[in-house]
Structure 1
């Protein structure tokens, strides 16, 4: 006997969408402005079933390519077997939010521009590349009168 796998739109999505949100959607959701080229995160909201993304797009990040009255067209990368395809999907605005993935980069760009401007005025060179965190400074460890213990690995014994 062959077991048939059911392929339904909401199949196995019990812990995926925001099922704990009920009632009226906050107005801030509708007041956000989306423009072409914005980077958005897709997060399905269970209270609004219209324009809901498929479960495979939940949690993905994409770029807005089209804006309509109630929905937004998004280009999202989807892995299909060995390929990554750029899929175009339409999602209502309740199911998306602005992504914060680029904020730290834009902040760093502003800081670097400021550093370059100051260095140009002074006529000096400035390091703009990010550097790894340096090792901790040398310091004394207080034992409060207790003797330090010497830890050694236990020698291997073959048990026949």
Structure 2
């Protein structure tokens, strides 16, 4: 029932998951598991656009899919959360009159150095074991 209760709007990203119990509005098996963009909403179906790779070129395909075979995609949740936090940081900086530092994601970089103590740590010599033929 929740499949029918979800609302889809233009520019929503959706995952195509075919429900084999319902044959109407079922996309081809090639599109199962693909992510597309909703460009139109009809009373009983959605218009989804996605790219299909044929040879070395990308062809834009338009699918008319019933909503039973579609679910909202979670592929850009991290982006949306990051965008909202960055907007809040920018608003705070404007209110305080400060300059905004770089809001891009930064790599963690190398780990901090540390010293391994020899207390309760006996060194182990590593090396190759000789090959022994049993036969």
Q: TM-score, structure 2 length as denominator?
A: 0.83
Q: Does 1:151 align with 2:126?
A: yes
What is the match of residue 130 of structure 1? 105
Question: CA separation in 1, counterparts of 2:100 and 2:11?
Answer: 35
1:72 to 38, 46, 54: 46
Question: CA separation in 2, counterparts of 1:122 and 1:151?
Answer: 59
Question: CA separation in 2, counterparts of 1:125 and 1:103?
Answer: 24
Question: CA separation in 1, counterparts of 2:63 and 2:44?
Answer: 14
Question: CA separation in 1, counterparts of 2:51 and 2:45?
Answer: 19
Q: Which deviations, in whole Å up to 9, do the C-alpha atoms of 1:5-35 show, x marking residues without a partner?
A: xxxxxxxxxxxxxxxxxxxxxx100000011
Does the 8 A contact of 1:40 with 1:62 survive in 2?
A: yes
Q: TM-score, structure 1 length as denominator?
A: 0.71
* RMSD between aligned residues: 2.2
Question: CA separation in 2, counterparts of 1:149 and 1:28?
Answer: 59
Task: Give the match's secondary structure for 2:64.
Answer: strand
What is the match of residue 31 of structure 2? 57
What is the match of residue 108 of structure 1? 82
Unpaired runs of 5+ in structure 2? 131-135
What is the match of residue 59 of structure 2? 85
Q: Does 1:48 align with 2:39?
A: no
Deviation at 1:63, TM superposition (A): 0.8
Task: Give the match's secondary structure for 1:135.
Answer: coil
Unpaired runs of 5+ in structure 1? 1-26, 156-160
- Structure with the greater relative contact order (CA < 8 A, sep ≥ 6): 1 or 2? 2
Residue correspondences, number: 129
Task: Give the match's secondary structure for 2:59.
Answer: strand
